[in-house]
Structure 1
Amino acid sequence: MALPDVRTRYLFFTGKGGVGKTSLSCATGLALAEAGQRVLIVSTDPASNLDEVLETPLGATPTQVLPGLFALNIDPEAAAAAYRERMVGPYRGILPDAAIRSMEEQFSGGCTVEIAAFDAFAELLGLPARTVDFDHVIFDTAPTGHTLRLLTLPSAWSEFLDTNAGGASCLGPLSGLDKQKDLYAATVAELADPARTTVVLVARPEAAALREAERTRAELAELGVRNQWLAVNGVFVAGSGDAIAGAMSDRHAGALAHIPVGLNELPRSETPFVARGMVGLAALRAALQPVGMAPEACAMPDVALPAGLAPLIDQLAATGHGVVMTMGKGGVGKTSVAAALALSLARRGHKVLLTTTDPAAHLSWTLEQAEPNLRIGRIDPAAEVARHRDDVLARAGADLDPNARAMLEEDLRSPCTEEIAVFHAFARTVEEGRDAFVVLDTAPTGHTILLMDSAEAYHREVLRTRGDMPEAVRQLLPRLRDPDFTRVLIVTLAEATPVHEAERLQADLRRAQIEPFAWIINQSLLASGTVDPVLAARVGYEAPFIRRVGELAMRVALVPWLAEAPVGGAGLVGMVKA
């Protein structure tokens, strides 16, 4: 297996969800450790599966996996609780109880989780003494949208602190952040130092994943992070005349032949398709030293296959309106599934809005032509921040004296404003389900659950900054919890990590009093009919996960891996008819 040529102390693995960041970061760490280096792997992903890949329970401090190889998870929720107490604790018994409750409310929103996780990350990167025992520190980062926010936060907070020497902040006492200013500056310096840091852009050999990697490359370069490496993961080359194998091989080769210009200028490594995945130390070692496939691996498993998407769409269409949400781990195909559902509902004569809350949205690449009855939208964070800021200043700032208005404006310059603004837009979009179908291609799991679970925190934030609450926000959680109004579809792949992640997602939804309507297993090679020897090995790997989904879900739909990519009207119709 060709791995990135490591030259720097710090490595960041980033990319669109599901491209194999964790597998490649762990394989790289294992190879370095077995070459005699001391390596620390760190996950900053809210939906981390580092424990699973390394087969080792991990915490917030380095845990030895093997001689020379250590790992840790930055748990955003635990980090937020510790951060909250660090900020509020010193004032307990000093300030009145009402003031303490107000401070706790300011630290209860989703933004606090983001900043707390960043604080833990910044200490590892900006304080060399924390990792002095290691030759290399590898960061297995979150999906692209989250990673870009994480990497831009140092600059955002440094600028915020430079221009706000006092006053209010949505994170509470500004002095709590000001103490970290030097740390943030050191973190920015490490990120931008090509002698110290390399960012590995991980992508599948697919057009959408490579476009996303190019967007990441350009945005990182604008931030001064230019020491980048492209790692193309899962390249398949057909060794038989099987139609599915040929289509997959052609699709991968075509994508690699048309890599965006900026990406093509980066140093690059390509890792081959691994039939049995890369979960577990034995699988990682096998991937580093591939061996021939045993003939018996080609035997077709005996498993009952669920029906496709068409019967599920029949049930969805019967309501005539409402919200349909596709949810799941990044990279499982939520966008394609959402587009196929929306197109089918529109062609049945229903009014449909297809939109996304995903920071890395690419609906426009999936459904390129106009369709009667179908609108395509996106919740754009930049536009929503501008709308929210103007709205707050008009409502809450109109009657304030100059000093009070200046404090409000300072608060609205904080990076936390984006979370609040996007939340309001999400609520407005859900409200449209009263009169039409709204199909929401949602962000990756951790972000989506955070968005919904933050309703009460944002309720308090709205009251604090505006003095009222829009009806759409007030009705959001009741609408999401109403099974006649909202249908949640969990999208997964027939693989270990996506199924386990989806299982955790279902548990989270149920704790939030939201019952999933159905599960959709996407891109199944077992359902494709392939007889290629290598792909048949993956077929055998899929079977137990298909059975597991059948045990977990009220309804299941199975979508095969299709020779025609699910892009444009014909490709999306093919998903439904398969």
Structure 2
Amino acid sequence: MFERFNPSPEALTPFLFFTGKGGVGKTSTACATAISLADQGKNVLLVSTDPASNLQDVLEFNVQRDPKAVPAVEGLYACNIDPEEAARMYREKMVGPYRGVLPDDAVASMEEQLSGACTVEIAAFDEFTTLLVDTSVTSQYDHILFDTAPTGHTLRLLQLPTAWSSYLTSSTHGASCLGPLSGLQEKKTAYSESMKALSDPEKTQLMLVTRPESSAIAEAQRAANELLEIGMVNQHLIINGWLEALKTDDAVAKAFYNRQQDAVSKIDENSSKSISILPFVSHSLTGIESLRTWFSLQQEELGLQNETPSLPAPVHSIDDYVDSLIAKNQRVIMTMGKGGVGKTSMAASIAAKLSEKGHSVHLTTTDPADHLSGVVANAANLHVSSIDPKKEVERYTNQVLTEAAELSDSEREYLEEDLRSPCTEEIAVFQAFASIVAQSVHDFVVIDTAPTGHTLLLLDAAQSYHKEVERMNGQKTPDSIKQLLPTLRDPLQTSIAIVTLAEATPVLEASRLQEDLKRARIVPSWWLINQSLFAADSKEPVLANRATEEIKWIDTVQRKLANETVLIPWHI
């Protein structure tokens, strides 16, 4: 198996980018690496560009916009770039001159166009460009560590010549995130130098942080391939949360251990990436000493068991949620959440329970239907369909490009890249969902994953979604499109369930998703906390202690975020 991650200054480049989906431990890993390098006599700058940054919580130090020395770690400095604030300032720079000049709905459309994840990433990239190319800054440090890297999609946009042309401000074609670069022409040279630094394996190394879970590893591999496309070839995979051994014969612990072993066994050890592991710990990785000792913890130190307290308030079961759906006759159910929290399994469980109670149910998912085997039993009154995002995106992209036939080659290249954004997939899949909801003859329709509030507002801002479809298709708007947004906004017809895990980053990301949906006048009422070790009641010391760490996040969901909370045990 793989060796423990143990950072050596000689083996690491000046720039280190830590990336991975939410909740895998990017910030903890970046902080512990920075402390280790500083303890080895290096001058280190740690920079967070995460919208949900908890850098100050992990370091237990008030991290600010400008680099400040971290107490108790000689040679370590930290700063916190707020990408949301950077994006707000960028939007105002772009939209401000048009206030009072253009109609209000046109200004609102411009603001929403610049409210997506692509704009946030590019605004953050604009902020830390100086840290990559300004020698007066870089010469002060041996290593600069970035907590959260831009995606391959964003970096490819930055490479395209058309990104710096007036085409961005003049195009009326239906791309999903068109325009986030249009105000940055003066930064072209700095961006070009930054891209060279990122693609230089002697300068930059990509640290892909993941968990020993099949879905998380697959996501890390997708990110790796996407970033390989733009030249980030120096990559290292860190598998965080590895349960190295068991101390009990606990059934939950054995299943947990075996699932990790199975997931990691499928990794190609002969791939170009170097691979290492970090141990699963039961305690919170906050504070300098906790981070300083993490890489060297021995097995006997990982599971020092404490008494497990009880929850401060009662929670519901998944059956309670299903009974509520039946009682209120909410025929459209959507499970929503960030990647890896179990949206698909939750949607399948809800559909199966509705079916078991004698109701006719249509379950539709963006995961292949055969992934649901073992979750959804065969039943005469349960219909399962699968929407293939790739096919839907291809169909939608072809529609847009057909309408854009008059573009130059470079403009078309930019449009094609823009259509690879996450928003495009949401728009394309949304159309397929709309058709299913409108045509279904079943009592209930359960949908795995819906668009974010930003995408819904993006489509609705100018007039409404059906205007976008009319422009794309050149034909009468399907009734399914006209009806779906009002349906989603009607709590008498639709139930939106937020799915999360009882951990810091998944809860924080889910809370932002909820606020995003509220902007689109869609209000989730139920939160489903999935894969809870607390609810599983494992006796394995390291898992039992981790269960106690979940309580504060379960309490946060109950008291601050959800009207009703369901707690689902980690399942064997």
Tell me the TM-score range normalised by the shorter chain.
0.7 to 0.9
Structure 1 residue aligned with 2:563, among 550, 554, 578?
A: 554
Q: Does the Cα contact within 8 Å between 1:13 and 1:199 map onto a contact in 2?
A: yes
Say if 1:548 and 1:100 are closer, same or farther in 2 by CA, change over 3 A.
Answer: closer
One-letter amino acid of the structure 2 residue matched with residue 116 of structure 1: A
Q: Does the Cα contact within 8 Å between 2:65 and 2:81 map onto a contact in 1?
A: yes
- Give the TM-score normalised by the residue count of structure 2: 0.79
Structure 2 residue aligned with 1:151, among 155, 168, 174?
A: 155
In terms of mean alpha carbon deviation, does 25-34 or 63-72 score higher? 63-72
Deviations 1:287-334 (A, max 9, x none): 245375599834232336634322322333556664323334443333
Aligned partner of 1:522 in structure 2 is: 530
Q: Does the Cα contact within 8 Å between 1:229 and 1:266 map onto a contact in 2?
A: yes
Say if 1:44 and 1:150 are closer, same or farther in 2 by CA, change over 3 A.
Answer: farther
Structure 2 residue aligned with 1:2, among 1, 5, 8?
A: 5
Q: What is the CA distance between 1:497 and its match in structure 2?
A: 3.8
Within the alignment, does 1:374 sit opposite 2:381 as a pair?
no
One-letter amino acid of the structure 2 residue matched with residue 14 of structure 1: T
One-letter amino acid of the structure 1 residue matched with residue 75 of structure 2: G
Q: Does the Cα contact within 8 Å between 2:396 and 2:428 map onto a contact in 1?
A: no
In structure 2, what is the Cα distance between the partners aligned to 1:150 and 1:165?
15
Say if 1:472 and 1:36 are closer, same or farther in 2 by CA, change over 3 A.
Answer: farther
Aligned partner of 2:364 in structure 1 is: 354
Q: Does the Cα contact within 8 Å between 2:330 and 2:494 map onto a contact in 1?
A: no
Could you say what secondary structure the match of 2:305 adopts? helix
Q: What is the CA distance between 1:259 and its match in structure 2?
A: 1.4
Structure 1 residue aligned with 2:20, among 2, 6, 15?
A: 15
Q: What is the CA distance between 1:233 and its match in structure 2?
A: 0.6
One-letter amino acid of the structure 2 residue matched with residue 247 of structure 1: A
Within the alignment, does 1:216 sit opposite 2:220 as a pair?
no
One-letter amino acid of the structure 2 residue matched with residue 17 of structure 1: G
Deviations 1:171-208 (A, max 9, x none): 66987444333333222222221101111121211222
In structure 2, what is the Cα distance between the partners aligned to 1:167 and 1:375?
40
In structure 1, what is the Cα distance between the partners aligned to 2:59 and 2:482?
43
In structure 2, what is the Cα distance between the partners aligned to 1:86 and 1:392?
30
Q: What is the CA distance between 1:416 and its match in structure 2?
A: 6.4
Structure 1 residue aligned with 2:400, among 381, 389, 403?
A: 389
Within the alignment, does 1:62 sit opposite 2:67 as a pair?
yes
Aligned partner of 2:122 in structure 1 is: 115
Within the alignment, does 1:450 sit opposite 2:454 as a pair?
yes
Say if 1:367 and 1:45 are closer, same or farther in 2 by CA, change over 3 A.
Answer: farther
In structure 1, what is the Cα distance between the partners aligned to 2:246 and 2:343?
27
In structure 2, what is the Cα distance between the partners aligned to 1:83 and 1:220?
25
Q: What is the CA distance between 1:276 and its match in structure 2?
A: 1.5
In terms of mean alpha carbon deviation, does 421-430 or 32-41 score higher? 421-430
Q: Does the Cα contact within 8 Å between 1:154 and 1:187 map onto a contact in 2?
A: no
In structure 2, what is the Cα distance between the partners aligned to 1:132 and 1:455?
46
Q: What is the CA distance between 1:158 and its match in structure 2?
A: 3.4
Structure 2 residue aligned with 1:543, among 531, 535, 551?
A: 551
Aligned partner of 1:247 in structure 2 is: 255
In structure 1, what is the Cα distance between the partners aligned to 2:402 and 2:418?
17
One-letter amino acid of the structure 2 residue matched with residue 186 of structure 1: E
In terms of mean alpha carbon deviation, does 193-202 or 75-84 score higher? 75-84
Unaligned runs of 5+ in 1: 564-578
Within the alignment, does 1:316 sit opposite 2:319 as a pair?
no
Within the alignment, does 1:199 sit opposite 2:209 as a pair?
no
Q: What is the CA distance between 1:406 and its match in structure 2?
A: 9.9
Say if 1:282 and 1:153 are closer, same or farther in 2 by CA, change over 3 A.
Answer: farther
Q: What is the CA distance between 1:560 and its match in structure 2?
A: 1.2
Could you say what secondary structure the match of 1:521 adopts? strand
Aligned partner of 1:571 in structure 2 is: none
Q: Does the Cα contact within 8 Å between 1:58 and 1:72 map onto a contact in 2?
A: yes
Say if 1:37 and 1:208 are closer, same or farther in 2 by CA, change over 3 A.
Answer: same
Q: What is the CA distance between 1:555 and its match in structure 2?
A: 1.9
Could you say what secondary structure the match of 2:309 adopts? coil
In structure 2, what is the Cα distance between the partners aligned to 1:557 and 1:217?
35
In terms of mean alpha carbon deviation, does 549-558 or 166-175 score higher? 166-175
Could you say what secondary structure the match of 1:234 adopts? strand
One-letter amino acid of the structure 2 residue matched with residue 490 of structure 1: I
In structure 2, what is the Cα distance between the partners aligned to 1:62 and 1:48?
15
Within the alignment, does 1:29 sit opposite 2:34 as a pair?
yes
Amino-acid identity (%): 39
Aligned partner of 1:53 in structure 2 is: 58
Aligned partner of 2:49 in structure 1 is: 44
Could you say what secondary structure the match of 2:418 adopts? coil
Aligned partner of 2:489 in structure 1 is: 481
One-letter amino acid of the structure 2 residue matched with residue 151 of structure 1: L
One-letter amino acid of the structure 2 residue matched with residue 150 of structure 1: T
One-letter amino acid of the structure 1 residue matched with residue 563 of structure 2: M
Q: What is the CA distance between 1:370 and its match in structure 2?
A: 9.8
- Give the TM-score normalised by the residue count of structure 1: 0.78
Unaligned runs of 5+ in 2: none
> What is the total number of aligned residue pairs between the two structures?
540
One-letter amino acid of the structure 2 residue matched with residue 154 of structure 1: L
In structure 2, what is the Cα distance between the partners aligned to 1:323 and 1:118?
39
Could you say what secondary structure the match of 2:239 adopts? strand
In structure 2, what is the Cα distance between the partners aligned to 1:462 and 1:62?
48
Say if 1:463 and 1:72 are closer, same or farther in 2 by CA, change over 3 A.
Answer: farther
Say if 1:104 and 1:499 are closer, same or farther in 2 by CA, change over 3 A.
Answer: closer
Deviations 1:50-103 (A, max 9, x none): 3432334545443444343333344333222322344466x679xx92399967
Deviations 1:355-412 (A, max 9, x none): 34xxxx787645589965010214347425514414645xxx8xxxx79x99996884
In structure 1, what is the Cα distance between the partners aligned to 2:426 and 2:528?
26
Structure 1 residue aligned with 2:308, among 300, 303, 309?
A: 300
Say if 1:280 and 1:453 are closer, same or farther in 2 by CA, change over 3 A.
Answer: farther
Deviations 1:105-141 (A, max 9, x none): 5454135444333333444335454544322122222
